[in-house]
Structure 1
Amino acid sequence: MIFVGGVPFSSSSQGNTLVALMEDPILVSASNSFKAIPERKFSVSEESGMDRLTKNKWVYLFQREYGTVDPAFVDCRTSVSHMDSPNIVDMGLSQMLLHVVDHNMDAELDVHLVGGFEDVSPNYAYSSTRSESQEQLDGHSFPLCAKIVEALFTRPENFHVQTLFVLGHNTRRDSEGNAYPIFHGLVVETSTGLVTPACFDRTSRCPDEIVRRIRVTSAYEDPSWSGKLLETYDTQTDQFRIASCCWSDQKDISLTLKSLSDSEILLICSTSPSAEAPDFVDNLRRQWEYLIEHPDWRETFPRKQPRVFERVGDGGWKRC
């Protein structure tokens, strides 16, 4: 069940729940307030001039990953995920809530949805009478956001939507009308529950950045991860336990993709080429280099065991 402003939320039609939430005055006001917050930039580099993460405890999540932090290690329990497909929403929410609600269906949970932007015309995405051909024009953000809202609406837990900074609220356009997200990510202050727009440079995305990026794509050909978020962080031990994922035939594919120009890589590998971060292509090239050097997934995950990392005194991570 969804609550807004402390009361149950309802719309004239369940299919229009997302649209109705986007227009709710309380959530519109919350989106305007969120948009006015300066984006925090995080790094562990001394020279970056960004907020330092060293000596702080944080859990960085890539696409399709999730993590739940425990009060034994932080100040309040929080679960965060980066969902990238409607197909993983139902199971993904169950994974996220496993360590949060403790089977108490009366639990009241604050929800913050941030990230998806208007990657198609709102005339298509917000139409309640879309034809099958129009549905193909819905892009990626609208179907994903609609599925998340539908899942929250139908689950037995009580979800208090505090932030809905997605679609039109999270969209800016250049002079040519190209759409871009205003914010790509967020940070949750576990001591207060405060959610703030944020971006993280490469030095702050550890541990095991490249392997975790590879898992995002490889998980789609690994049936053991069908419909699931990727297990990355162990709530009980405060360790990164990067569960195994298998892949095949990646060396030849990587060699082919590596030979393409940057513009070709953007067009082929991105769902929103004009909106990608500046390091998008470089990150892909580093992934392909790894796959060329390690074509057999068993080199990365011997005996299908997870790759385990524990915190060290300076706030970083070391391989166990």
Structure 2
Amino acid sequence: MPLFSQNRRLERINATAELFDKYPHLQENARTFRAKPLVDVDPKCFLYVQQREFAATTPADGSGAVCLAHCDGSSTWSEVPLLVQAVTSLSSVSNDGRLELHLVGGFNDESKTSHKLSHNILEMNDIVVDGTHRPVVYGIGVNVKTGDVFPSSFIHKGPAEQLRSARTFTGGQYLSTSPMAEPPHFVQHMKSTIQFLLEHPDSDELFPGAQPQLYHRTEMGDWERVVKS
């Protein structure tokens, strides 16, 4: 699959400095994006994508597929083909077209996880606060109808926030790879997730008959669990 920037095909790039030297608009676009104000999204108008998750959908008129993923480097090589497949499967009505890619996030973290994941491409999202490197943009939103991508903050992270969060660190995973750079809500989020695990030690209770939990959007915009009779 060829990669294009401003309708020009990108040849093999060996270093980040070479990429920015040949395509300086990428850095300018990054500066513009990180300077945008945060958008508070109505909780009845979105689906929150947690760490190691992705979601794909189309607007009501089927005009274009959108996929949002939160990759943390745990299995990126196997995740990317799934993202492409999700978008193309929702775009089956069109044989032509292009996939637009937006990379947001990462920073100069102590363990260099972001650099390993993005090869320094996302270094524009780094800021030093009180001697600690932090990301400028912590979260983003995507307008499904327009395709617009914007910095966002979220109070609600549903549906099934604690259940989905618990999946990411069961089996001995760290609670955070960058504890000094986490946002203010992180500690409370982890506490509620751990409490959820303590209250639900048996997965059969959460997934009777080994069946997945299913949710749908109500007419009011809320997420409601589908209970099979």
TM range (shorter): 0.7 to 0.9
Higher relative contact order (CA 8 A, sep 6+): 1
Q: Counterparts of 1:314 and 1:278 in 2: how far apart (Å)?
A: 30
Map of 2:72 onto structure 1 = 84
Unaligned ranges ≥5, structure 2: none
Deviations 1:249-284 (CA, angstroms, capped at 9, x unpaired): x9xxxxxxxxxxxxxxxxx73211111011111111
Map of 1:118 onto structure 2 = 108
Q: Counterparts of 2:168 and 2:216 in 1: how far apart (Å)?
A: 22
Written as runs of structure 1 = structure 2, the 5 A alignment for 1:171-186 is 171-176=126-131, 178-186=132-140
Written as runs of structure 1 = structure 2, the 5 A alignment for 1:123-162 is 139-146=112-119
Q: Counterparts of 2:146 and 2:107 in 1: how far apart (Å)?
A: 27
Q: Give the TM-score taking structure 2 as reference length.
A: 0.86
What letter corresponds to residue 292 of structure 1 in structure 2?
Answer: L
Question: Percent of aligned positions with the same letter in both sequences?
Answer: 29
Map of 1:187 onto structure 2 = 141
| Residues matched between the structures, number | 221
CA RMSD of superposed structures (Å): 2.6
Does the CA contact (< 8 Å) of 1:69 and 1:79 recur in 2? yes
Does the CA contact (< 8 Å) of 1:210 and 1:287 recur in 2? yes
Deviations 1:131-187 (CA, angstroms, capped at 9, x unpaired): xxxxxx5x21011113xx9xxxxxxxxxxxxxx6x22x10111243x1110011111
Map of 2:18 onto structure 1 = 20
Q: Counterparts of 1:12 and 1:188 in 2: how far apart (Å)?
A: 28
Match 2:166 to one of 214, 218, 231: 214
Higher strand content, 1 or 2: 1
Q: Give the TM-score taking structure 1 as reference length.
A: 0.63
Deviation at 1:11, TM superposition (A): 4.5
Map of 2:57 onto structure 1 = 69
Q: Counterparts of 2:81 and 2:47 in 1: how far apart (Å)?
A: 20
Map of 2:33 onto structure 1 = 34
Map of 1:100 onto structure 2 = 87
Q: Aligned in 2, Cα 1:73/1:62: closer, same or farther, shift over 3 Å?
A: farther
What letter corresponds to residue 5 of structure 1 in structure 2?
Answer: Q
